[in-house]
Amino acid sequence: MRITGIRVVHLGAPSTPDFRLNRNWAFVLVETDKGLAGTGECTLLGMQDAVDGAISQFATFLTGQDPRRVEHLWQQMYRHPFWRGGPVLSAALSGVDQALWDLAGQALGAPVYQLLGGPVRDRVRVYPRADTPGGPVEQVVEAQRQGFTAFKLSPPDPRGPFDEVALIDATLALLAEVRQAVGPRFDLMVDWHGRLSPAGAIRFLEGANPYRLLFAEEVIPPDNVPAYAQVARAAPGTPCATGERLFTRWGFRELIETRGVAVLQPDVCYAGGISELRRIAAHAETHYLQVAPHNPNGPVAMAASLHVAAAIPNFLILEYARKYPEFDAALREPLKLRNGHFELPTTPGLGVALDLDYVAQHPHNDVPIQSAWHTDGSVADI
Lowest mean pLDDT among 65-69, 187-191, 220-224: 220-224
**Final residue of a structural domain among 76, 111, 146:** 111
* Domain identity same for 68 and 154: no
For the chain, what percent of residues have pLDDT higher than 90? Answer: 82
Angle (CA) 306 277 126, round 5° = 30
* Domain identity same for 46 and 170: no
> In angstroms, rounded to a whole number, what is the distance separating the alpha carbons of residues 262 and 231?
12
* Domain identity same for 93 and 174: no
Q: Kindly list the distances between the CA atom of residue 108 and the CA atoms of 104, 114, 302, in Å, as whole numbers in the listed order.
A: 6, 10, 22
* Domain CATH number, residue 92: 3.30.390.10
Asked if residue 361 is part of any domain, the answer here is: no
* Domain identity same for 12 and 42: yes
| The pLDDT of residue 345 is above 90 | yes
> In angstroms, rounded to a whole number, what is the distance separating the alpha carbons of residues 90 and 131?
27
| The pLDDT of residue 325 is above 90 | no
User: In the prediction, which pLDDT does 77 show?
Assistant: 97
| 193 catalytic residue (yes or no) | yes
| The pLDDT of residue 18 is above 70 | no
Give the pLDDT mean for 352-360.
Answer: 95
Question: Exposure of 18 by Cβ count < 10 A (0-12 exposed, 13-18 middle, 19+ buried)?
Answer: exposed
Distance of alpha carbon 246 from the chain centroid: 11
* Domain identity same for 192 and 253: yes
| The pLDDT of residue 37 is above 70 | yes
User: What confidence tier does 123 reach under pLDDT thresholds 50, 70, 90?
Assistant: very high
- Summarised one tens digit per residue, pLDDT across range 48-100 is 899 999 999 999 999 999 999 999 999 999 999 988 889 999 999 999 999 99
| The pLDDT of residue 190 is above 60 | yes
* Domain identity same for 76 and 139: no
* Domain identity same for 7 and 99: yes
**Catalytic, out of 10, 193, 283, 362:** 193
| The pLDDT of residue 16 is above 60 | no
H or E element at residue 113: helix 112-115
Asked if residue 316 is part of any domain, the answer here is: yes
* Domain identity same for 68 and 102: yes
User: In the prediction, which pLDDT does 211 show?
Assistant: 97
> In angstroms, rounded to a whole number, what is the distance separating the alpha carbons of residues 364 and 47?
13
* Domain CATH number, residue 221: 3.20.20.120
* Domain identity same for 35 and 146: no
Asked if residue 154 is part of any domain, the answer here is: yes
Asked if residue 356 is part of any domain, the answer here is: no
The structure's pTM equals: 0.94
- Domain of residue 35 covers 3-111
| The pLDDT of residue 17 is above 70 | no
Query: What is the bridge-based pairing of β-strands 240-242 and 215-217?
Result: parallel
Using CA atoms of 352, 344, 307, 194 in order, give the dihedral in degrees to the nearest 10. 100
Find, among 3, 10, 26, 25, the residue nearest to 77 by Cα.
3
User: What confidence tier does 133 reach under pLDDT thresholds 50, 70, 90?
Assistant: low
Asked if residue 303 is part of any domain, the answer here is: yes
Q: Where are the alpha helices (DSSP H) in 198-343?
A: 198-208, 225-234, 248-257, 273-286, 299-311, 326-329
Asked if residue 93 is part of any domain, the answer here is: yes
Give the pLDDT mean for 257-280.
Answer: 97
Q: Are 317 and 346 in contact (CB under 8 A)?
A: no
The number of domains in the chain is 2
Q: Which residues pair with 331 in a beta bridge?
A: 354
Asked if residue 373 is part of any domain, the answer here is: no
* Domain identity same for 78 and 196: no
* Domain identity same for 255 and 282: yes
**Final residue of a structural domain among 49, 78, 111:** 111
- Summarised one tens digit per residue, pLDDT across range 149-184 is 999 999 976 555 678 999 999 999 999 999 999 999
Give the pLDDT mean for 239-245.
Answer: 97
Average pLDDT, the chain: 93
Find, among 8, 7, 10, the residue nearest to 363 by Cα.
10
> In angstroms, rounded to a whole number, what is the distance separating the alpha carbons of residues 154 and 24?
21
Asked if residue 175 is part of any domain, the answer here is: yes
Please count the CA atoms within 13 angstroms of the CA of 259 that sit on its side-chain side: 10
**Final residue of a structural domain among 61, 76, 111:** 111
**Catalytic, out of 294, 307, 364, 374:** 294
* Domain identity same for 138 and 287: yes
